[in-house]
Amino acid sequence: MKKGLLIILSGPSGVGKGTVREYIFSHSNLPFVYSVSMTTREPRNGEVDGKDYYFVSDEEFQRNVQNNNFLEHASFVGHSYGTPKDKVEALRNEGKHVFLEIEVNGATQVLTNHKEPGVVSIFLMPPSLRALENRIKGRKTEPKEIIEKRLEKGRREIQLAGMYDYVVINDRVENASQKIMDIILNKIKENKEED
């Protein structure tokens, strides 16, 4: 059986990756599965362990790091996040296409260390730095220094867009999601034709 694709959606914090991912999963019948990450952050209201994330302690996360269980892992706003390697491999070996929605540091690790065929990387780009700033500032819960740090990080992350196979501008969620679904559909077709 042909190994499934590894589809990576990434982009700076605040660009709207989560919203685009949710849109794609609720509006498409594309045959792919979402890879559930492990995290040390607390579940938010309505989040389900094993569906949204595997919620684990710092100790358990570190054990997984030491046992080399992650395809990639990174810290984000004081918490750790990682993609379980064995689960992704098992799904891909069953011929399933696996979708990761991860922050830029982790995506860079995959793109640097796993230069295998079958990886499709998509960078979600804000329409402008001003738009990113407005989105980050829109989260009114954060102090000014944190907002400035996030923006600085976002500016650095945008400079890595050239590492990805595709850059999609998130002007409107529907447009960006449709473009991403078209990219994935084409790649799935190509993957089949190579059989």
Contact 20, 176 (CB under 8 A): yes
Rounded (10°) CA dihedral 65, 68, 70, 73: 40
- Sign of the four-CA dihedral 60, 62, 63, 69: positive
Q: Closer to ligand 5GP by CB, 153 or 187: give it.
A: 153
Considering the rule CB under 6 A, would residue 83 count as an interface residue with ligand 5GP? yes
Residue carrying structure tokens 């230069």:
115
Considering the rule CB under 6 A, would residue 157 count as an interface residue with ligand 5GP? no
List the one residue from 34, 55, 76, 166 that touches ligand 5GP (CB under 6 A).
76
Considering the rule CB under 6 A, would residue 103 count as an interface residue with ligand 5GP? yes
- DSSP run (H or E) holding 156: helix 144-158
Min dist. Cβ of residue 163 to ligand 5GP (A): 15
Min dist. Cβ of residue 188 to ligand 5GP (A): 22
Q: Closer to ligand 5GP by CB, 13 or 191: give it.
A: 13
Q: Closer to ligand 5GP by CB, 140 or 192: give it.
A: 140
Cα end-to-end span (Å), the chain: 9
Considering the rule CB under 6 A, would residue 176 count as an interface residue with ligand 5GP? no
DSSP string, 21-54: HHHHHHH---SEEEPPEEESSPPPTT--BTTTEE
- CB neighbourhood size of 161 (10 A): 16
List the one residue from 22, 25, 41, 69 that touches ligand 5GP (CB under 6 A).
41
Binding track, positions 124-153, relative to ligand 5GP; x by CB under 6 A: ------------------------------
Instruction: Give residues in contact with ligand 5GP (CB under 6 A).
Output: 13, 17, 37, 41, 72, 74, 76, 81-83, 101-103, 106
